[in-house]
Amino acid sequence: MNVFLSIARRILSILVTLFGASVIVFIILRVLPGNAVSAAMGTSEGLLTRAQIAALDRYYGVGQPAVQQYFSWLHATLTGNLGVSLTYRESVSTLIGSTLPVTLELAFFSMVLGLFIGVGFGMWSALHPGRWQDNLGQAVSVVGLAVPGFILAQVLSVYMADKFHYFPSSLNFVGFFTNPWLNFQQIIFPALVLSLGIGAAILRTTRGAVLEVKSLNFARTALGKGVSRSAYIWRHLFLNSLTAVVTMSGIQLGYLIGGTVFVEQIFVLPGMGRQMITAITDRDYPVLQSVTLVFAAGFVIVNMLVDLTYSLVDPRTRKR
């Protein structure tokens, strides 16, 4: 019963968060200059008569009171109607359906590389405190946290193009099942850029958590009883540090969903991040509202999954 109540509370929390996010997005877009009519017509709006403008206001729904506009949009969204793009004249659902897999693939590879960097270097540093291995791990974390991702992306793309004539982004993006090797070339460097920042945060958390566990009595007792080194490292140190690692990984994965925006733009990946930038430039309000809501939904769903993971990592949380 407690499990069902816990799940119900989490679902309710997600719905409340998404409702708040939808209100904020709607208000921000309405505060900005212009509206759907000016975005769709551009400079041609000045050639329209007042009657034509009023007709377009009714067509796009911008002539209604703001509250009525919001609930009309919310009702349409809940029924699966995300509207039509003002730029491409296509269904927003179709556009998101074509760009979402790219962003998810980028996020997946970035997270895998980030965990490899963070957990690998974090464990290595914690097992050799004060030695060169620890200094190397600390250097990796400093670089990952100090260098902005968009600068690293620019430098990496220019360097690979200049030194190795490496231009995978100049080709049309292909899916993994269409051409795995080309897809890997197009994804690996954007994922590496994102993973460095993710890995740096996980690295510091892993190192600190493992060092704390090493100082506890049960860890020293296990070592004194002569357990194998691999059992000591992974069963006693790593597993007992896993709660902190999962927490930080969940936070980084949530931010990663939004962090794909600049990387997709620099590496010319047709994902949701680049779609959002295009929508902002073109004042494509239906696309911008829907993409922002999808990012918000991804963030809260990731946090819910992290909370549920705690019950697997730490049995003490199952009673809550």
Domain ranges of the chain: 96-286
| In the block, residue with structure tokens 């994965």 | 253
- The highest-level CATH class for domain 96-286 is mainly alpha
Residue 95 CB contacts under 8 Å (≥ 6 apart), including other chains:
85, 88, 275, 287
Residue 287 CB contacts under 8 Å (≥ 6 apart), including other chains:
85, 86, 87, 92, 95, 275, 276, 278, 279
Do 6 and 52 meet the contact criterion of CB atoms below 8 Å apart? Answer: no
Residue 203's pLDDT is 92
Distances (CA, A) of 178 to 135, 174, 181, 282: 43, 6, 9, 31
Among residues 294, 281, 208, the alpha carbon closest in space to that of 247 is found at 208
**The two structure tokens encoding residue 41:** 């017509």
Rounded Cα distance between 69 and 265, Å, is 31
pTM for this model (two decimals): 0.82
Question: What is the distance, to the nearest Å, from the Cα of residue 111 to the centroid of all Cα atoms in its chain?
Answer: 10
Rounded Cα distance between 176 and 7, Å, is 34
Question: pLDDT per residue over 34-72, tens digit each?
Answer: 666 666 666 566 666 777 767 766 666 666 677 877 888
Residue 226's pLDDT is 77
Residue 253's pLDDT is 80
Do 60 and 40 meet the contact criterion of CB atoms below 8 Å apart? Answer: yes
pLDDT averaged over 10-residue windows placed end to end, the chain, 320 residues: 71 83 81 65 64 69 72 81 79 89 90 91 89 89 84 82 71 81 87 90 91 84 80 84 85 77 85 86 81 84 76 61
Task: Please report, in angstroms and rounded to a whole number, the separation of the first and last CA atoms in the chain.
Answer: 11
Residue 314 CB contacts under 8 Å (≥ 6 apart), including other chains:
242, 243
Q: What are phi and psi of 79, to 5 degrees?
A: -90, 5
**The two structure tokens encoding residue 146:** 């100090």
Residue 221 CB contacts under 8 Å (≥ 6 apart), including other chains:
none
Residue 245's pLDDT is 87
